[in-house]
Each structure stands twice: as C-alpha cells, then as structure tokens.
Amino acid sequence: METNLKIIQPEISELRIIQPELTIIQPTQTTQPKTNQFSESMKSSLTKQGYRLVGNHSAVKICEYTRKMLRGETGCYKYAFYGIRSHQCLQMTTSMFCASRCKFCWRGQKAPVSENWYGPIDSPEHIINHSIDEHLKLLQGFKGMGYEKADKKRISEMENVRHVALSLTGEPITYPLINEILEAFHKRRISTFLVTNSQYPEQIKKIDKVTQLYLSIDAPNKELMKEIDRPLFQDYWERMLDCLDLLKTRDYRTCIRLTMIKNENMCDTDGYAELIKRGDSDFVELKSYVWVGGGRKLYKMDNMPTINDMKIFMNELLEKLPDYEYLRQHSHSRAILLIKKSLNKKSWINFPKFFDLVEKGKDFTTEDYCSEIIMPNE
C-alpha cells in the first residue's frame, strides 16, 4: 500500500490540531483525493446502528456476547477457543474503508472503499483512550436499571479492558501507525487480535508483535473470490497469495478464517486445503456467514450453514489437511476451530507469558505462549 506518508515534526504553530492531545500526522495531499473517512450521512447511519465514532477514522461497537457475559451467560467463540473474556473485550476498528465490497458484509454496499489510506491520522494514544471511553459509555446501562440482572463481579471487571479485537468494519491494518497502536495496547497489557482481508501484504510485513493475526479467506479459487469479495485491486489473487506466504513466516500466533456461505463457497476443499497449507497457520476457523445487515440484500437466510453443514464440510477438508485436527466448536456462533497437531491441542493463550515476552523484547514463537488450560488476562 503506497501512501507516501511522512511523520512530520513541525513547529507547534504549524500543527493542524484536531484534538488537543493528538499528535497529527498529515499525508501528502497529492495522494489523498478525500479528506475524511466519515461523511455526515455515514456518521448518522453508524450512530443509529450502535457504533460510536472516535476521531477521524476509528469506531467501536458493543458485541452481543459482551452483553451476554455481563448478564452471567456464556462468552463468544473467542472465549471458547482462546480464553478471551467477552465482557473485557473491546471491539473496534482503526479504519472505516476497505479494499473489497464483500457480498456477505453487514456494512452494506455503500460503505467506503479505497485501495490507499486517506484523510488525517489520529495518534495511537488518542484512539485507545477515546475508544475505551466510548466502549464503557455504551455499557453504563448495566450499572443502572439492568444491574440486578447482571453478574456483579463481571460488571466490576468490565471497566478493565483486557483484549481488543481489531476487526469490526473496514480494514484496520491500513492504519499507518498499526505497529505503534499494537505496541501501545501491549504496554497496557491488553491482548490484540488483528483481522485483515488478505489484500495488504506490505502491511503484514510491517507487523512486529500481535497476540494473534487473522487472515480472511473467503473463496478457494480466483474466480469465486472475485465474485464474492468484489475486490478493488486488479491483482487481488496475487495479493492474497503474498499474504499467505507472509503468514507462514510469522512467529506469533496466526489463524486463517473461512467465512462459510451455503450454496456458494462451501466447495472445492482441494482449493481451500492448498491455500491453508501455503499459509501454514496455527489455527483455522470455519465461521458461518450471518444473515444480518447489508448482506441480507444479496443472500437469503438459507445461505447460513448449520453447524452440522459445517462439520460435514470440515471433515472433507481435514482429509486433505493431515497436519490439522478438530479441536472444538461454538455452536451458537456456528464456528469451528481446527488446530495444528504440533500444538498438542493447546489453543488457550498464556497472557502473562505473552506480555512478559513482549516487554523483554525477546524473540518468541507461538508455542511460547500457548497454554493447556484457560488463563484469564487479569
């Protein structure tokens, strides 16, 4: 991704101040046809949908499983698979635009798309501070009328955010200071999951440390990827293959996520198997398409596979992936986790060990912070 960005250290009088505490980094105007990632109509629409906007290009939204866990119910698949406690999880993005118009996306087909970054760039600390503030504001109702129905221990824990899922919407990895914001989260002992749509290999190459990096693969071949993802880049397939090649070289935890759409991409297990082998990820998630938001205009509810549909597909896929095995499923999310056999079923994250390794600046591998038992990040 060529952005021609430069970190500028001008005199104070030359700074374009957007927020009092921000360090503003301005991209060169020649490469930026647009000035802001939030149009007025988008602000109104996103706010009605439950988003809270942060600065010039970030947003947060409360996951339904966060609410469930605060009511004393179970957490999401990230809790079942890795030990991420939903009531302490911040769901957010650092970029509203994406380089694809995926048919299944809940954002709808009017969401902003771009190949390159545009607009002002907010500082990591500004994004983190205000994202956590907005996240907690959205949860204040649990301290009011709903408090009696809520789990009091979890209510007290919710203000201590321990994990961030950088996904939500858009393409978070395009944020020019993505490494810096990951580092800032880690300094606060907040674990990080970063999800990317496999179109920015140059950004993946930059990532130094992340708790777990996700690569979304939505189709087993070039033709189907074009039909489903509707990417902007002409070399979209080559970019995805480059991302897989880079994924294989990462020392931290990696995961390939397959979004399963019944009667469309649950086919060609040979193709999927070759892509998974190429990326050599530690984990593979099979996750059902969910019939919500804008995706309802292009699909029917029948396009949501059941967990049994997915297990049939999984069994056929595993026949071609001798290095992987089934570990567990989260039926309510219609999600299935495969794990490399070499990890000996250790999918849980050892959070204290991860932060210790990051803090000491040591090189480490996935095995160094995998755990046989669930370990809360306290």
Please give the structure tokens belonging to residue 10: 């001008």
Residue 273 lies in a domain: yes
CA dist list (Å): 305 to 17, 20, 33, 168, 273: 49, 48, 41, 22, 20
Task: Kindly state whether residue 1 falls inside one of the protein's structural domains.
Answer: no
- Please report whether residue 129 resides in a domain: yes
CB 171 within 8 A of CB 200: yes
**Average pLDDT in the chain:** 87
Q: Say which CATH number the domain at 203 has.
A: 3.20.20.70
Closest CA to 65 of 286, 330, 262: 330
Calculate the alpha carbon distances from 183 to 10, 180, 188, 192, 209 in Å: 24, 5, 9, 10, 7
Question: Total structural domains in the chain?
Answer: 1
Look up residue 273 and give its two tokens.
Answer: 């198997």
- Each residue's pLDDT tens digit, 269-321: 999 999 999 999 999 999 999 877 667 788 889 999 999 999 999 999 999 99
233 belongs to a structural domain:
yes
Answer yes or no: are the C-beta atoms of 331 and 309 closer than 8 Å: no
Report the pLDDT value the prediction gives residue 200, as an integer from 0 to 100.
97
pTM, 2 dp: 0.88
Looking at the domain assignment, is residue 300 inside a domain? yes
Dig out the tokens for 19 from the structure. Answer: 């927020």
Domain contains 3: no
Domain containing 235 equals 12-371
Q: Is residue 230 part of a domain?
A: yes
Q: What is the pLDDT of residues 47-58, one digit of tens each?
A: 888 899 999 999
Neighbours of 125 (CB within 10 A): 14
In a domain, 212, yes or no: yes
- For residue range 105-144, list pLDDT tens digits in order: 866 656 788 999 989 999 999 999 999 999 999 998 776 6
pLDDT at position 244, please? Answer: 98
The pLDDT assigned to 109 comes to 59
